[in-house]
């Protein structure tokens, strides 16, 4: 059995991070910056299969919320990722005729694997960070504060910690350990009723494509689902095809042969591959690809003792909002702020009271963790594009803002959901705003119905 404990007495406190995705890698960088920690990050995958198009190859979009968290963590993503990073020029909606919008303007598109790799590369160059690849977390002894990892060859590695961070994604093993061993730590998950499969679409082969399309986030709605597709720097769209997980219009029901796949794209999404659909080879690959479903995760809290959860491990969500990575990166920034305020005035290197800091983090971030999951279900999640009631609410809020908002701008504000890409409003504030707007919309609807009934009743009475 190997041990990664070589901490000399009186040296830095030890942070052990489980998972080298965006959340874990950025947290390593934050903790390494004069915050008094020696960091060991353990990632289940081997180094040579992280990044590139083979592992989890979808592109993620970073808004200001995520980008600012990176900058505050000392990451210049342009420098780290180079030409693999694309700055988007807005969105392009394919529906009968193409329509562009400024949404997604200046947001960043990057392959999730390349992104994690760029952050891990940077982290592994920092002297007080050790990155251990090919090590899968299996269990934790909370009393002794020892985390156990297994290597592919069966070797076991034990690592002592002062602070253990679960950044191991939606199926978090760290979270499972808390669930199994801490009586009042509970987890609730909700499956998205929509399922998805990914496919690559060569942009310049699309009908009517021009060079500008290579920098647009593409959205295509159909009667049965949608395709959302950020571009990759090599001129491909990394498209997510979304359909109901069950019923007559699910993937399984619609596509049993490669010809079905070709007919599906040709009929519902001709803008992607033309009316003939994709080639036989692409159709075969798509047919064989696993259908996936996302889950939202609600933990009863984010921390227990010296252990806490970040990113998808803490609050995985439905994909509709495009906030998973952004929220994960913001977790790291918020944690660093909480840690910094706890250590303010203390000498550098003086040990922090980890459980107290984690409790403070839970207090600060818990509402946001719940809110972002709820927003992902409330907004566009689960629906083909957007639920009619929610769309009506958004429209009403926009109308009120444009009319009565001129007289009372603080009351009739723009829809709160629009603030999701920036970081001026927390997820908690946005959710409260969305609920307030729903109440106003309902009240106006009821008032409208009452007025209409009153007018009709008056006419009837006058006639009598």
Ligand X SMILES: Cc1cc2nc3c(=O)[nH]c(=O)nc-3n(C[C@H](O)[C@H](O)[C@H](O)COP(=O)(O)OP(=O)(O)OC[C@H]3O[C@@H](n4cnc5c(N)ncnc54)[C@H](O)[C@@H]3O)c2cc1C
Instruction: Kindly list the residues in this chain that would bind ligand X in the complex (CB under 6 A).
Output: 18-24, 42-45, 58, 60-61, 112, 136-137, 167-169, 173, 240, 311-312, 319, 322-326, 328
Q: In what order do the strands lie in the sheet with 135-141?
A: 2-3, 156-160, 146-151, 135-141
Spatial CA neighbour of 56 closest among 132, 123, 120, 110:
110
Angle at the Cα of 137 from the Cα atoms of 132 and 139, rounded to 5 degrees? 140
Nearer to ligand X, 221 or 238 (CB): 238
Q: How far is the CB of 156 from ligand X (least distance, A)?
A: 13
Nearer to ligand X, 248 or 290 (CB): 290
Q: How far is the CB of 136 from ligand X (least distance, A)?
A: 4
Q: How far is the CB of 84 from ligand X (least distance, A)?
A: 15
The pair of three-digit structure tokens given for residue 238, joined into one six-digit string: 């990394």
Nearer to ligand X, 27 or 431 (CB): 27
Nearer to ligand X, 42 or 213 (CB): 42
Q: How far is the CB of 196 from ligand X (least distance, A)?
A: 6
Nearer to ligand X, 173 or 232 (CB): 173
Q: In what order do the strands lie in the sheet with 226-229?
A: 59-62, 97-111, 86-95, 217-221, 226-229, 236-244, 187-202, 292-299
User: Cα–Cα distance between 359 and 232 in angstroms, integer?
Assistant: 40
Give the H or E element holding residue 122: helix 112-124
Nearer to ligand X, 240 or 397 (CB): 240
Q: How far is the CB of 126 from ligand X (least distance, A)?
A: 18
Which ranges of 36-111 would DSSP assign to H, the alpha helix?
Answer: 64-72, 77-81
Nearer to ligand X, 257 or 293 (CB): 293
Q: How far is the CB of 27 from ligand X (least distance, A)?
A: 9
Which residue in this structure is represented by tokens 């890409």?
421
Q: In what order do the strands lie in the sheet with 13-18?
A: 129-133, 37-43, 13-18, 163-166, 307-309, 303-304
Which residue in this structure is represented by tokens 């070589």?
6
Q: How far is the CB of 230 from ligand X (least distance, A)?
A: 6
């Amino acid at each position: 059995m190997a041990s990664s404990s070589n901490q000399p007495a009186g040296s830095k406190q030890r942070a052990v991070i489980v998972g080298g995705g965006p959340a874990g890698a950025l947290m390593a960088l934050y903790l390494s910056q004069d915050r008094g920690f020696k960091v060991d990050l353990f990632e289940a995958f081997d180094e040579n299969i992280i990044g590139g198009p083979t592992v989890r190859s979808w592109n993620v979009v970073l808004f200001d919320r995520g980008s600012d968290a990176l900058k505050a963590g000392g990451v210049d993503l342009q420098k780290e990722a180079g030409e693999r990073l694309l700055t988007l020029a807005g969105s392009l909606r394919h529906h009968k005729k193409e329509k562009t919008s400024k949404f997604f303007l200046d947001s960043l598109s990057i392959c999730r694997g390349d992104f994690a790799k760029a952050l891990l590369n940077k982290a592994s160059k920092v002297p007080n960070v050790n990155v251990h690849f090919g090590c899968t977390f299996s269990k934790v002894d909370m009393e002794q504060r020892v985390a156990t990892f297994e290597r592919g060859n069966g070797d076991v590695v034990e690592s002592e910690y002062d602070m253990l961070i679960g950044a191991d994604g939606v199926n978090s093993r760290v979270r499972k350990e808390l669930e199994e061993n801490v009586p009042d730590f509970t987890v609730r998950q909700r499956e998205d009723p929509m399922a998805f499969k990914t496919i690559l679409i060569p942009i310049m082969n699309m009908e009517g494509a021009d060079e500008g399309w290579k920098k647009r986030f593409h959205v295509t709605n159909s009667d049965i689902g949608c395709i959302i597709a950020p571009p990759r720097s090599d001129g491909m769209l990394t498209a997510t095809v979304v359909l109901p997980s069950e019923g007559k219009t699910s993937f399984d029901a619609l596509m049993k042969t490669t010809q079905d796949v070709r007919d599906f794209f040709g009929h519902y999404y001709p803008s992607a591959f033309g009316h003939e659909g994709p080639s036989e080879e692409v159709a075969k690959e798509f047919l064989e690809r696993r259908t996936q479903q996302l889950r939202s995760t609600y933990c009863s809290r984010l921390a227990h003792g010296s252990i806490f959860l970040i990113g998808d491990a803490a609050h995985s969500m439905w994909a509709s909002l495009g906030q998973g990575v952004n929220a994960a990166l913001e977790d790291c920034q918020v944690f660093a702020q909480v840690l910094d305020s706890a250590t303010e005035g203390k000498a550098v290197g003086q040990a922090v009271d980890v459980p107290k800091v984690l409790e403070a983090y839970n207090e600060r971030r818990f509402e946001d963790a719940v809110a972002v999951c709820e927003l992902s279900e409330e907004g566009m999640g689960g629906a083909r594009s957007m639920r009619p009631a929610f769309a009506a609410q958004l429209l009403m809020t926009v109308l009120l803002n444009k009319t009565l908002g001129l007289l009372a701008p603080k009351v009739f504000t723009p829809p709160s959901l629009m603030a999701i890409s920036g970081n001026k409003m927390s997820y908690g504030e946005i959710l409260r705003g969305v609920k307030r707007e729903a109440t106003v919309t309902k009240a106006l609807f009821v008032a409208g119905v009452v007025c209409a009934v009153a007018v009709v009743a008056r006419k009837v009475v006058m006639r009598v």
